[in-house]
């Protein structure tokens, strides 16, 4: 059966019920800095998004942007793959985002990753990091503020270690600094307590940007594939290329919440209002605020979700 992005199973546009993150999930997220959401995507969705990422990989190879058999790390996921749009407000995972950050959010950074098996050992490189770049140098605080969260969707089988798994130090989001080598290419032991996250196709990982994490090398026989979306408040700039910047009809075909997440809300409002609206000054005209309000999901005791 042909599947299109209008397929009911691939869109949350028509989902009328939604559930906030549970107290148990919140406690675990606060403790570990990440959650694994098993079976977030159906097998049909896994097939659909795998076809989409394979197409991008083939295009990258055809254009010479990546050599045959080499890895792909394409930024601005939806700008480069419109078919990925169904993941940005996926009904299973997106509630975790707004439960933590509230209604005034957008996607600031996203990527499509394909990592084929590596046949020969590559030189050591210390890749442990927190997300947010200069936020980790220019912000005060111990720990620094959370500011953003990220969703990783696994399209290949990383249910065993050694397959290029995502690796984390549970609980490290409360730590501004971990020990590392004086230079990234100097061999260094793996951080104490670090674990490779094992996930099956369709599982998602939701993590705090401050969680110390790294990708590992894929020495298995399985090509690793994943799509990543990072969310932050709208008063932090979008680092991605804006999806659909020259395609107004495509943008208008998206739900208002998707338009907000991709950075389109507030455009076209004349005068000063445009700037203020773009960073979330007006809740009542910010789609996710209205969407949550209609479903009675705004609360009084959580500032980012306050009515």
Ligand X SMILES: O=C(O)CCC(=O)C(=O)O
Interface residues with ligand X (CB under 6 A) are 113, 131, 150, 166, 213, 215, 228
Give the nearest distance from C-beta 109 to ligand X in angstroms: 8
Inter-residue contact 5 to 85 (CB < 8 Å): yes
**Is 79 or 227 the residue whose CB approaches ligand X more closely?**
227
Minimum CB distance to ligand X smaller for 32 or for 103: 32
Q: Which residue has its beta carbon closest to ligand X?
A: 215
- Return the half-sphere exposure (C-beta side, CA atoms, 13 A cut-off) of residue 73: 2
DSSP at 295: T
Instruction: Please state, in angstroms and rounded to a whole number, the distance separating the CA atoms of residues 202 and 40.
Output: 6
CB of 34 to ligand X, least distance (A): 11
- 9: which DSSP letter? G
Q: Which is nearer to ligand X, 144 or 213 (CB)?
A: 213
Q: Maximum distance among all alpha carbons in the chain?
A: 58
Nearest-approach distance from CB 207 to ligand X, in angstroms: 8
Q: What does the DSSP assignment read for 197-256?
A: PPB-TT-EEEEETTS-EEE--B-SSS-EEEEEEEEEETTS---SPPTTTT-HHHHHTS-H
Minimum distance from residue 80 beta carbon to ligand X (Å) = 16
Nearer to ligand X, 164 or 280 (CB): 164
d(CA 287, CA 285): 6
Task: Name the residue nearer to ligand X (CB basis): 150 or 264.
Answer: 150
For residues 100 and 69, give the distance between their C-alpha atoms in angstroms, rounded to a whole number. Answer: 38
Least spacing, CB of residue 228 vs ligand X, in Å: 5
Residues 6+ apart with CB under 8 A from 281: none
Output 110 or 259, the one with its CB closest to ligand X: 110
> Please, is 71 exposed, middle or buried when counting C-beta atoms within 10 Å of its C-beta (0-12, 13-18, 19+)?
middle
Min. distance of Cβ 97 from ligand X in angstroms?
Answer: 15
Rounded to the nearest whole angstrom, what is the least distance from the CB of residue 65 to ligand X in the complex?
19
Q: Structure tokens of 237?
A: 């700039």
Closer residue to ligand X (CB): 12 or 156: 156
User: Which two tokens mark 166?
Assistant: 């995502």
């Amino acid at each position: 059966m042909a599947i299109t992005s209008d397929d009911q199973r691939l869109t949350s546009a028509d989902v009328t019920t939604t559930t906030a993150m549970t107290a148990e999930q919140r406690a675990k997220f606060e403790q570990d800095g990440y959650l694994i959401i098993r079976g977030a995507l159906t097998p049909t969705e896994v097939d659909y998004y795998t076809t989409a990422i394979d197409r991008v990989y083939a295009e990258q190879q055809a254009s010479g942007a990546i050599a045959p058999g080499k890895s792909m790390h394409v930024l601005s996921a939806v700008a480069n793959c419109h078919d990925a749009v169904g993941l940005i407000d996926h009904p299973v995972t997106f509630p975790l985002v707004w439960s933590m950050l509230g209604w005034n959010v957008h996607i600031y950074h996203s990527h499509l990753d394909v990592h084929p098996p590596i046949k020969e050992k590559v030189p050591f490189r210390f890749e442990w990091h927190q997300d947010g770049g200069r936020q980790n140098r220019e912000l005060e605080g111990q720990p620094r503020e959370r500011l953003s969260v990220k969703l990783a969707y696994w399209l290949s089988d990383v249910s065993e270690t050694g397959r290029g798994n995502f690796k984390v130090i549970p609980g490290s989001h409360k730590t501004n600094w971990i020990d590392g080598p004086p230079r990234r290419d100097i061999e260094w032991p793996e951080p104490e307590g670090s674990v490779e996250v094992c996930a099956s196709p369709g599982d998602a990982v939701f993590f705090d940007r401050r969680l110390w994490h790294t990708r590992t090398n894929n020495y298995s026989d399985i090509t690793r594939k994943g799509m990543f979306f990072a969310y932050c408040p709208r008063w932090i700039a979008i680092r991605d290329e804006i999806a659909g910047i020259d395609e107004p009809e495509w943008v208008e075909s998206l739900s208002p919440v998707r338009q907000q997440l991709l950075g389109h809300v507030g455009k076209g409002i004349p005068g000063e209002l445009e700037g203020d609206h773009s960073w979330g000054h007006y809740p009542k005209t910010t789609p996710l605020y209205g969407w949550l309000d209609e479903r009675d999901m705004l609360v009084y005791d959580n500032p980012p979700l306050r009515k």
